[in-house]
Structure 1
């Protein structure tokens, strides 16, 4: 990952060319919309879902990933830190004071083992589009395209709108993977250049939704209704999390809400633990340490309950 200088963090408004904070671009993706796709992951998200598998997506500015298993405790990073954020800890370990660290990347330049990496890069529309266009033949042969995800891609709306517009000009199908927590007037402008919306449905009850994500779902449900009424193609997706939103009551309520939108199917996104290592790299505690992935039998039962609401159900 390219090192980002502190001066770049405030350069978005000064530059004539739109820029956005991106933490990953995943090529040959097959789970973020139809066909083969390139998924662009935007930094910044209004929600704080307990099960978030990309915690580096929540904060919009760059952050430091520390891979402790790669660290040889050479301590080269300590004297070069301009903020004195790095020190020696117990057993000669390396400790980073996250309150002092501004992810300037100076320490990453001297680390011989890439144990310290900056996640988050300021990119222009042209730079992102250049990566997307590399797989254009695969999009054409598979009815694929590009997907904007996050975080919440809608948190950087001007860039996203321009990127989608440029993709459209190049004949590339655009998909927005969204939390739904975006002001409607902002979302409406993005949708003008959006071919498909992937809309996450986490919980129907607003109080429970706030407990699980930090915010209620009033705006989210309202946006889901408006998108459905607009006729814009939309796929409903249901992140299924043990002990959080998998009660029979909520499963049925989610299914009925999606059915009432006029949609015919819903995708289940079963809980997994693939993102737990990222919390360690950010010195964050994982909020669901005891949660376990579902068995096939459990997923079959949930699938059957959703199907009883009249929907076709796919398990991702």
Structure 2
């Protein structure tokens, strides 16, 4: 089995070590590209498309007068001289090829989000921190994007990780096939499951798709895998689900699932710079979440779920 699983390939855009917020203990997060949703508040815009993407950090660019290697390296002429001796990327012309321009950049001003990697390659990196997992109860967390959208690769990663005695978790929006959810659950020790809104029309308006399949997949995990710990999470987004009505509906949905814990995540703007690197507008603009309002919403939900609500201190 390992021979087949270890050589299976998937599109990975980051491996992040020493995380303590994405499952129990100290964890290594493997970020997979691709997502079915297009949430306006997404903090990982580089995760949304399945294929590799070219990013440009203008602050690192040495300028054409000092460098210009990428212009020479681009086989399609998609990189030209822009304002103030900085580069300009014609994204409508760029083919997202094997991107020799990024390899030619000495300052890492050009970056590639996404690389084909094997299960064995990824887990060899994860295994480097086995001592931390053993002491803290941590392990591997798959994230994205939606990691289960690359179903065969994700399940192979989870299966081989368990074979190597690495505890596993997944961060999922739930917008995948029920068969994939069930296949992954067999090799999971923990699930972080996003529930963004109970109103399907509102969910579709802000994420691109309705929530019926998401809620059904949540029920599958909660009812068919009763021993699998689940942490349901809601990012609290201004103008979307930051009302008492919205959070109450989610809490009432979760209330019958007594073993499921719940966490409310305040909206942040940490992904703003990545939109700039990809030359995309920031969908949420300058919107911020009021701390006192967030605390009031926490109090409302705590009245429904009690100690099942995780409140940061």
Which of structure 1's runs of 4+ aligned residues deviate more than 6 A?
none
Gaps of 5+ in 2: none
The reply on whether 1:290 has 2:286 as its aligned counterpart is: yes
Take 1:117 and 1:91, find their aligned partners in 2: how far apart are those partners?
Answer: 21
The reply on whether 1:18 has 2:14 as its aligned counterpart is: no
Q: Deviations over 1:40-95 (max 9, x none)?
A: 10000000000000000001111111001111321332232112211223444321
**Contact kept? 2:191, 2:230, Cα under 8 Å:** yes
Matching residue within 176, 179, 190 for 2:170 = 176
Q: Deviations over 1:152-175 (max 9, x none)?
A: 110111111111111111211111
Q: Deviations over 1:89-140 (max 9, x none)?
A: 3444321111222152211232232111111111100011101111111111
**Contact kept? 2:33, 2:48, Cα under 8 Å:** yes
**Contact kept? 1:65, 1:119, Cα under 8 Å:** yes
Gaps of 5+ in 1: 1-14
Q: Deviations over 1:258-285 (max 9, x none)?
A: 1123345311111111110000000011
Take 1:309 and 1:103, find their aligned partners in 2: how far apart are those partners?
Answer: 52
Q: Secondary structure at the match of 1:129?
A: helix
The reply on whether 1:99 has 2:115 as its aligned counterpart is: no
**Contact kept? 1:225, 1:261, Cα under 8 Å:** no
| TM-score, normalised with respect to structure 2 | 0.92
The reply on whether 1:302 has 2:297 as its aligned counterpart is: yes
Which residue of 1 is the match for residue 128 of structure 2? 134
- For residue 294 of structure 1, report the CA deviation from its aligned partner: 3.3
Which residue of 1 is the match for residue 216 of structure 2? 222
- Closer, same or farther in 2 for the Cα pair 1:263/1:249, shift >3 Å? farther
Matching residue within 247, 251, 258 for 2:254 = 258
- Closer, same or farther in 2 for the Cα pair 1:141/1:79, shift >3 Å? same
Take 1:103 and 1:284, find their aligned partners in 2: how far apart are those partners?
Answer: 20
1:132-171 map, 5 Å: 132-171=126-165
Q: Secondary structure at the match of 1:260?
A: coil
Q: Secondary structure at the match of 1:306?
A: helix
- Closer, same or farther in 2 for the Cα pair 1:114/1:18, shift >3 Å? same
The reply on whether 1:271 has 2:261 as its aligned counterpart is: no
Q: Deviations over 1:202-224 (max 9, x none)?
A: 01100000111100000001111
- For residue 308 of structure 1, report the CA deviation from its aligned partner: 1.5
Take 1:49 and 1:33, find their aligned partners in 2: how far apart are those partners?
Answer: 22
Take 1:156 and 1:304, find their aligned partners in 2: how far apart are those partners?
Answer: 37
- For residue 233 of structure 1, report the CA deviation from its aligned partner: 1.9
Take 1:270 and 1:90, find their aligned partners in 2: how far apart are those partners?
Answer: 37
Q: Deviations over 1:176-230 (max 9, x none)?
A: 1100001101211111111111100101100000111100000001111111101
Take 2:98 and 2:275, find their aligned partners in 1: how far apart are those partners?
Answer: 20
The reply on whether 1:37 has 2:27 as its aligned counterpart is: yes
- Closer, same or farther in 2 for the Cα pair 1:293/1:18, shift >3 Å? same
Farther off after superposition, 88-97 or 25-34? 88-97
The CA RMSD over aligned residues, in Å, is 1.6
Take 2:184 and 2:106, find their aligned partners in 1: how far apart are those partners?
Answer: 43
Take 2:6 and 2:229, find their aligned partners in 1: how far apart are those partners?
Answer: 33
**Contact kept? 2:6, 2:119, Cα under 8 Å:** no
Matching residue within 54, 58, 80 for 2:73 = 80
**Contact kept? 2:181, 2:221, Cα under 8 Å:** no
